[in-house]
Structures are given as C-alpha cells and as structure tokens.
Amino acid sequence: MNLNTLRDSALFAGIAEEELVKLSKCLMARQRAFDKEAFILRAGEPVDPVYFILSGTVHIVDEDFWGNRAIIETMEKDTLFGEAYVFSGAERHLVSVVAAEPTVLLEINPHKLFESCMNGCTCHAKLTRNALGIVSEKIVRLTEKLGHIMQRTLREKLLSYLSLCSQREKTSVFDIPYSRQQLADYLCVDRSALSHELSRLQKEGLLRYQRSHFELLVNRHED
C-alpha cells in the first residue's frame, strides 16, 4: 500500500501518517489497478465492497437489453462508489463501472468504513466525516445531471451542461471529459442529433468547439 497516495487523498485528509497503516488494515483495504476500458464491476454482480478512486477516471454506465449505453456519471480521483448499493440492502449492482483511463482504486470493506471501530482507532471518526463529505459531493453532481436532462430540448440540455462546466472551471474556455458519443450518452440524446445541434450553435455564434475543447461566446447574432 502506497502511504503517500493515501495521505494525499480526500478520504484520508487530516489523518496522521502513523495512523494510516493501522487504518488501512482496519478497513481491510487493498489497492487494485485497471486498464482503460476494463470493467471494474458489471451489472448483476453481487454487492460487496465499496471503491475509492486513488487515481484515474471511471464511467458509471447503464446498458439496456439491446446494448444501448447511457453514462450515468463520470467519477474522478477522490470519489467513492458502490456505497449506495451496500447500505440500501441491494443484492446486485444495477449498473456497470468502466475505467475511462488507467485507474487505481482502493477496495474497502464498507462496514468498516461507516461503522464504529472496535479496534480503538482514534482517527476513525475523521475518516467517516471525510467519507460522508465525499458522498454528499457525489449527490450534488448527480443532482446537477438531473438538472441537465430534465431540460425540454436537446439545445437546452447541452447549454445547461456546458454552462455548468464553464462555471465550475471559472472560464469560458474549457475541456470536457467526454467524447462526442460519451456526451450523447451522458445527456441521454442521439449522437447525430447532438452533433447537428453543436454545429448550429457554432454557426449562431454561441460557442466554438474542437472535439472536447469548448469556448462559450456572447451571442452577437442579429436578426
């Protein structure tokens, strides 16, 4: 276990280095690495551990009977996933998780993470607070996505998402973490329709884009 990686993560923030070895054993934690496009877990698999992203990015994806895929969320470093299934009492995962790039995870016994420690770990309360903060931030992001996809038109969905990206990055020029197909999957729209709408927005002077690089513009188009 790389203690430097743990020490620099949001989950173990504020925990003294001498406590990390003891705490990682208490959590029954182990580190796992995944290549790009590798499935970390698949829909239908039994619910067991929770995962914390030490490095890399994962897509939470839902696939229907015919293989149509929707990206529910993209999660990056310092994010937990799998905890909702564990604590809801679900027996099987309803979605899959795929590594969007080479990714390193910490696999954790969920009951050791959120329940009172029997080993006298004085830092365990801090760990639990950190974990709850991470989970709360994830809920905020899922709420943001709901705001995008509830927009009535494709244009409104797209502009809602790009506007939030700009606000988050505090600049009108930014990169998004999706390819064109992935963005369509995330917004739950057709890829060709999305590409057509982007082209229209560019012609109307609302934005410029090149692949995943975007610049939002003040519309000076006059009728």
Concatenated DSSP letters for 13-75?
TT--HHHHHHHHHHTT-EEEEE-TT-EEE-TTSBP--EEEEEES-EEEEEE-TT--EEEEEEE
| pLDDT for position 1 | 60
Q: Tokens representing 10?
A: 């949001």
CATH topology identical between 3-147 and 151-216: no
Determine the pLDDT at residue 36. 95
Beta bridge partners of 106: 31, 52
Give the H or E element holding residue 216.
Answer: strand 213-216
Cα–Cα distance between 109 and 51 in angstroms, integer? Answer: 9
Neighbour tally for 3: CB within 10 Å: 13
Question: Degrees (nearest 5) of the Cα angle 71, 80, 35?
Answer: 65
Helix (H) or strand (E) holding 98: strand 96-99
Which of 115, 137, 130, 111 is closest to 20 using CA atoms? 130
Task: Spell out the CATH class of 151-216.
Answer: mainly alpha
Q: What is the pLDDT of residue 119?
A: 61
Taking only the tens place, the pLDDT of each residue in 152-203 is 999 999 999 999 999 999 999 999 989 999 999 999 999 999 999 999 999 9
pLDDT of residue 210: 94
| Torsion over CA: 187, 87, 41, 30 (sign) | positive
DSSP 101-122: SSEEEEEE-HHHHHSPPSS--T
pLDDT confidence of residue 28: 80
The confidence score (pLDDT) of residue 121 equals 63
Choosing among 2.60.120.10, 1.10.10.10, 3.20.20.120, 2.60.40.10, the CATH entry for 3-147 is 2.60.120.10
Rounded CA separation 131/11 (Å): 6
Q: What separation, in Å, do the N-terminal and C-terminal C-alpha atoms of the chain show?
A: 62
> What angle do helix axes 17-26 and 124-149 make, rounded to 10 degrees?
70
Blockwise average pLDDT, block size 10, the chain, 223 residues:
78 86 81 95 90 95 83 92 87 93 92 69 81 91 93 96 95 94 92 97 95 87 44
The confidence score (pLDDT) of residue 57 equals: 95
What does the domain layout of the chain look like in residue ranges? 3-147, 151-216
Which pLDDT does position 117 carry in this prediction? Answer: 66
Per-residue burial over 4-19, b = 16 or more CB atoms within 10 Å of its CB, e = otherwise: eebeebbbbeebeeeb
Q: Please tell me the predicted confidence (pLDDT) of residue 68.
A: 81
